Amino acid sequence: MNLLFIFANSGIKEPSIWYPMILGVLVVASAIGLFTGGTYLLVATNTGARLAFLIVGAALFGMLMLISALWWTTASPLNTLKGRIPGYEINESIAGDDFARSKIEAIQTIGPKNKLDLAETTNVKAAIDTLVLIPKSSGGVPAELPDEFQTFESSTDYLVAAAYSTGGGAWLDKNSPYLHLGDIKVTTDASFPWVHVTAHVPSYAVAVLCPIDREAQEVPFGDPIPEPTCDPDKQATTIVLEKDLGSLRFPPFMVMVSSGILFALFLLGLHWRERDLQELAEQEAADKSPTPAGD
């Protein structure tokens, strides 16, 4: 274990397969081995190898079940086991601001009633900044290749001219091709020969992006800089964002269930061992009991 810490602090700066991947795996495996192995050896010297295995296993998975239950039910600020954080993902990009060209039926029917106010548009803009900007290298790590939606170099290169939202869960929506029952969506469209059930009704945000007019921003020295406006000579782009509800609590829930099953199995093993000892003691007592006279 000390050798691992020496290697960890040996001045390695460049990321490689050894650092941090293999080194991290070895450190975690060594820590688990020392924690459980040391406890097992201590218990085994008093109870024996087999009973110590059952005791240490039950204690370990019982502790993991309780800890993962806390991770699952509370918003822990620590770097605990967590899944994906909820956010937006770009579903499609449309040239111009014609929503009818979208491949999603819910987007084609967007109207003024779906338009977001300034505060909600600002929140959408913050989510878009992480999706449409060209990645840059940082800390000596080379930047990833931009995808088809990453076209702007800076968040000040474009404006969100308008933003809309549609979809989301509802208890009952008779005007929709879907029957909403809580968070369950059951397709009733006759074009589908099967029934499709998903956990949540899709929620979409639509944003019309336009490049900023740089010439309008150039003013004489000392004059106030005007508010950014869209460049009339460049075409706007509409992007469709789909809400990703994430899986923040799913990993700790699975750990809790798995640990609970193993905890129950180890307790069952201890119970079976105790019953075997009881039956053995009863059998020995019956063998040692005096035989009645005359038999």
Cβ pair 92, 247 in contact under 8 A:
no
If one compares 1 and 77, the residue with the highest pLDDT of the two is 77
pLDDT at position 49 is 93
The answer on pLDDT for 44 being more than 60 is yes
Say if residue 190's pLDDT is above 50: no
Select from 216, 170, 212, 178 the least CA-distant residue to 197.
178
Q: Average pLDDT of 206-223? A: 84
Q: What token pair was written down for 193?
A: 């020969």
Proportion of the chain above pLDDT 90, given as a percent:
21
Give which of 267, 9, 20 is closest to 141, Cα–Cα: 20
DSSP string, 74-139: S---SS-S--PPPEEEEEEEEESS-GGG-SSHHHHT--GGGB--HHHHHHHHHHHHHHHBPP--BT
d(CA 101, CA 147): 21
pLDDT, tens only, 224-277: 878 888 888 888 888 898 888 788 888 899 999 999 999 999 999 999 999 999
* Whether the Cβ atoms of residue 169 and residue 200 lie closer than 8 Å to each other: yes
pLDDT at 170 over 80: no
Higher pLDDT pick, 273 / 35: 273
Q: What is the pLDDT of residue 272?
A: 96
Q: Look at residue 175 in the predicted model and tell me its pLDDT.
A: 45
SS3 222: coil
3-state secondary structure 153-212: CCHHHEEEEEEEEEECCCCCCCCCCEEEECCEEEECCCCCCCCCEECCCCEEEEEEEEEE
Domain extents in the chain: 2-81+250-280, 87-244
Q: Which one is predicted more confidently, 14 or 130?
A: 130
Strand partners, 20: 16
**Average pLDDT value for residue range 127-135:** 84
Residue 253 structure tokens: 């829930």
From 83-92, 100-109, 146-155, 285-294, the region with the lowest mean pLDDT: 285-294
